[in-house]
Amino acid sequence: QVPPERLASAGARASLQIQRHGELLRELGTTRYVRCVADALIQAIPAAPADWEVVVMRDETPDAWALTGRRLGVTKGLLRVTGNQDRLAAVLAHGIAHEMLGHTGAHVTASVAASFEGDAALSNEAIAAIGGASQVGAGFAYSASEEAAADARALALMGAAGFDPAAAAPVWAQLQAFRVREGTSGERPPPMLLVHPTDRSRLQGLRTLPPAALTAFDTARLRNQRPACGTA
């Protein structure tokens, strides 16, 4: 098993490579909006929350990723599809859940772990193994059991943070139905859906909201503790 500190270091390197390959979004209002949603979720993690990196890329293709070492990324295209804070929270909470559950480092092989040594750029295989598969076009997908576990944790986290857990099923259904229309034939789904498969059984699971998540959300509303992050 790869030590957490090595995974965290690899996540930091992968995040830098992703940022250098693309273009960071410089719109302050939009980045504040994303950070507001992410911070509300992070504060709801049932432990002393550590620092999480959150980056927003200018790419118009809907995408999101979570890397080892508590590093999240989203694209401007995802913000256009999600549309509001609850739907964005559903996607971010899912990535946070994968990291909390150890899924982002669970697929690191011995050969990939060996490549973390030294200062050379990480390979696409290495970036994919620590959560960045959609960014490097790697043929990787979380298993159905990992997706189910991440969905359950994400719904609980949303409710605790004051976001509506009922927003999760519609946004994943919308992403599943979405096809990039600009400059393509409209046949390729968003990259994140190749990593996080969304089939009928998964959507049904998202629609069956855990009572604890609903209770937590209702409590947040009654206490006027709903996040007010605005819009992108």
Alpha helix (H) residue ranges in the chain: 4-21, 28-43, 76-82, 85-100, 110-115, 124-127, 133-136, 144-161, 168-177, 191-195, 200-207, 211-222
Longest C-alpha distance within the chain, in Å?
Answer: 52
**Per-residue pLDDT tens digits for 166-185:** 999 999 998 888 754 444 44
Pairwise CA distance, residues 106 & 99, whole Å: 10
pLDDT of 153 strictly over 80: yes
Q: Do residues 15 and 57 touch, judged by C-beta distance below 8 A?
A: no
**Structure confidence at residue 56 (pLDDT):** 98
Give Cβ neighbours of residue 211 (< 8 Å, ≥ 6 apart): none
Confidence of residue 144 (pLDDT cuts 50, 70, 90): very high
Q: Do residues 157 and 80 touch, judged by C-beta distance below 8 A?
A: no
| Closest to 136 (Cα-Cα) out of 24, 48, 31, 14 | 14
Read off the amino acid at residue 29.
G
149-146-132-136 Cα dihedral, nearest 10 degrees = -140
Residues in the chain: 232
pLDDT of 46 strictly over 80: yes
pTM comes to 0.94
Backbone angles phi, psi at 222, to 5 degrees: -65, -30
Q: Do residues 168 and 152 touch, judged by C-beta distance below 8 A?
A: no
**Structure confidence at residue 178 (pLDDT):** 72
pLDDT of 95 strictly over 50: yes
152-157-159-160 Cα dihedral, nearest 10 degrees = 140
